[in-house]
Amino acid sequence: MLVTGLPSAGKTTFAPNALHYDDVRRLPRDERLAAYAQANEVEGIFTTRASRAVLLDAWKGREGRRVCIWLDTPLETCIERERVRGRGELLARYHHRMFEPPTPDEGWDEIRIVRRQI
């Protein structure tokens, strides 16, 4: 399962036991892919189809459904959370512009859209 959404959308709160992208992003590619391959749950921004394709490739050959949960939190909510965290709004605005909503033709068996306000 992948939990995706904008920065401060609530991904870590929604999936507290998931492998967090930030925990593996600095690993060499092979080690990062191995971590993805072993994880049942991953959470991170995964803004584009291409970034999600890396995860889906790591999951090839695994049994089970490939589920993507998109936390569709309003940009304004994400910006306010980013401000509270002292990071500012640029990161949220950037990923909002770049975000490509997940689609079944990427290889997902199921896509759940969770609209969050808080």
Burial string for 57-88 (b: 16+ CB within 10 Å, else e) reads ebbeeeeeebebbbbebebebbbebbeeeeee
pLDDT of residue 61: 87
Which of 93, 89, 90, 1 is closest to 41 using CA atoms?
Answer: 1
pLDDT of residue 56: 96
Q: What is the pTM of this model?
A: 0.92
Please give the full DSSP string across 32-50, using - where no structure is assigned: HHHHHHH-S-EES---SHH
Tell me the average confidence (pLDDT) per consecutive run of 10 residues in the chain, 118 residues long: 96 96 93 94 96 95 93 96 90 95 97 85
Domains and CATH numbers, the chain: 2-115 (3.40.50.300)
Instruction: Please state the separation of Cα 116 from the chain's center in Å.
Output: 15
